Amino acid sequence: MMFSTPFKPLIVTLTLALGVSACGSDDDDAMGHLQLYNGSSNAPQVYLELDETLYGSAEFSQATYTSDVETGSYPAQLMWYDTYGQSQVVWEDDLNISSDQYTWVALVGDLEDAQVQQYQFALESPEEGFDTRIFNLDTELSLDVYYSAAHESFEDAQMLQSVAPLEMTDTHNLDLGDYKFYLTQSGEQTPIMESQGITFAYNNQYKLVIRDNLGAGAAPYSMDIVSLHYTTELVDTNNTAQVRVFNGYQDIDNINWQVVGSTGESELTALSHGHFSAPIELEYGDYSMKSWNADSGELLSENHLLSLAANEHQSVFYYRQFEEDEDSGEITEYYRVLTSKDMVSDSLYSHQLQIANLSHSYTSIRVHLVRADETIDNATYKVLGLGNAMGLLTLPNDSYQAMVTYVEDGQTLLLGSLDLGDLSEQSTSYLVVEETADGIELLHLHD
């Protein structure tokens, strides 16, 4: 079995951000520019309001679109919405918008004791190369930032600038091209992060944001490249990935599993039906997977691709499907694999539920998450038309009943329901829809 070595470093190309210009007519001179960045790892989606007008929202490690705002002083709030749609204010203060200045608001730290940093600087469009400023959102450590061409190593890197906690640097102008960035502790020469490569192809201004890493790897930091309208994550190329396996094969009590690639291999033994394995750490790259019956030794599936990016969490679901030939009535059995890129969140006030539909008779189901004061008809949170695939819902912390329905010949069938309880204490949660000889069975799996 042959595998190609994964390309290293991975190059990310930035999307051209159009829109706001720092130069223009006299009317433009009375305008400033505003953006919110959510750097609080346990915050839910946070909204920015100026003078009772919303200016967008952002989840962790994301930023709002840049807005043009008339100059002046505004009462400002950062807030999130609870399960009943009531706003919960995180911060409020006056915010000054200055002519031809970019006001960048960053929420940092633990949401229960969050800090809001306000930065102002000129928004410029460089005639040559690209401009970047560094923002260190670590609340404690000073860091040194280095850069090199994407194909080079730290030995070839040049120092960009040191940056203190919660500070921003001066603007640096670099030639267009492919780059990598490195972080060291202040005054040290050993990188604690080496980013993947990224292509800067446009004469724009970018913000290089240093923040906590929540991914699978051990690196303490990730970086975000924030433009006027888009955010691109840069992860440490030395970060590993994690995968875990779910045995959804009906009537097969235990399976063995093996994954083999150019960067490593691993295996599981006797994974019981209806259970996840513990997380398995692998180098990023491309792998081939196979599974077999642990009791009989029968090969169930092989050569399924698993492609892992650095710092990524994935889940692999094994299940069976049956298809009946319309003419002969012969039933054919298929062994299937469904993979999922898992979302990572430390939010205190919301929870992500991943839904896997492994049924073979019902390939377009509806999943409703119903609270105590709701019914299926008016439930706020639902996934419609879910085939043999993954669905994702971000749910405010509350107690939920999962209800699965299916429409057949114009009639709505209730296939199954399950009380999920209070999701607030669960870090990762899955709802698995299985089909047994007796009908649909729902499984709720969580850490």
> pLDDT of 312-334, one tens digit each?
999 999 999 887 777 777 888 88
Which CATH topology does 343-447 take? Immunoglobulin-like (2.60.40)
Backbone angles phi, psi at 281, to 5 degrees: -90, 130
Which pLDDT score is estimated for 15? 45
* pLDDT higher than threshold 90 for residue 166: yes
Total residues found in the chain within this entry:
447
Please give the structure tokens belonging to residue 278.
Answer: 């513990």
User: What is the dihedral sign for C-alpha 409, 412, 417, 419?
Assistant: positive
Q: Hey, what amino acid is at 176?
A: L
Which pLDDT score is estimated for 12? 60
Please give the structure tokens belonging to residue 54.
Answer: 């919303």
Instruction: Give the architecture-level CATH label for domain 240-342.
Output: Sandwich (2.60)
Which pLDDT score is estimated for 21? 35
* Distance in angstroms (rounded) separating the CA atoms of residues 314 and 263: 17
DSSP 168: B
Q: Where are the domains of the chain?
A: 22-124, 135-236, 240-342, 343-447
* pLDDT higher than threshold 60 for residue 28: no
* Distance in angstroms (rounded) separating the CA atoms of residues 28 and 69: 10
Q: Give which of 95, 43, 69, 360 is closest to 214, Cα–Cα.
A: 43
Pairing of strands 115-122, 101-108: antiparallel
* pTM of the predicted model as reported, rounded to 2 decimal places: 0.83
Which pLDDT score is estimated for 75? 97
> pLDDT of 72-100, one tens digit each?
999 999 999 887 788 999 999 999 999 99
Pairing of strands 429-436, 439-446: antiparallel
Please give the structure tokens belonging to residue 393.
Answer: 């819902």
CA contacts within 13 A on the Cβ side of 73? 3
Please give the structure tokens belonging to residue 420.
Answer: 């999920």
> pLDDT of 190-229, one tens digit each?
999 999 999 999 999 999 999 999 887 778 999 999 999 9
Which pLDDT score is estimated for 13? 54
Q: Are 274 and 444 in contact (CB under 8 A)?
A: no
> pLDDT of 284-310, one tens digit each?
999 999 999 999 999 999 999 999 998
Share of the chain above pLDDT 70, in %: 93
* Distance in angstroms (rounded) separating the CA atoms of residues 438 and 128: 68
Which pLDDT score is estimated for 11? 59
Q: Which CATH number fits domain 22-124: 2.60.120, 1.10.287, 1.10.10, 2.60.40?
A: 2.60.40
Provide the Cα torsion 172, 173, 176, 179; round to 10°: -20
* pLDDT higher than threshold 50 for residue 19: no
Which pLDDT score is estimated for 115? 93
User: What is the dihedral sign for C-alpha 151, 157, 158, 162?
Assistant: positive
Which pLDDT score is estimated for 6? 36
Q: Are 140 and 110 in contact (CB under 8 A)?
A: no
| Residue that has been written with the tokens 């600038």 in this structure | 161
Q: Are 339 and 389 in contact (CB under 8 A)?
A: no
Cβ contacts of 126 within 8 Å, gap of 6 or more = 173, 203, 204, 205
* pLDDT higher than threshold 60 for residue 188: yes
Mean pLDDT over residues 161-182, rounded? 97
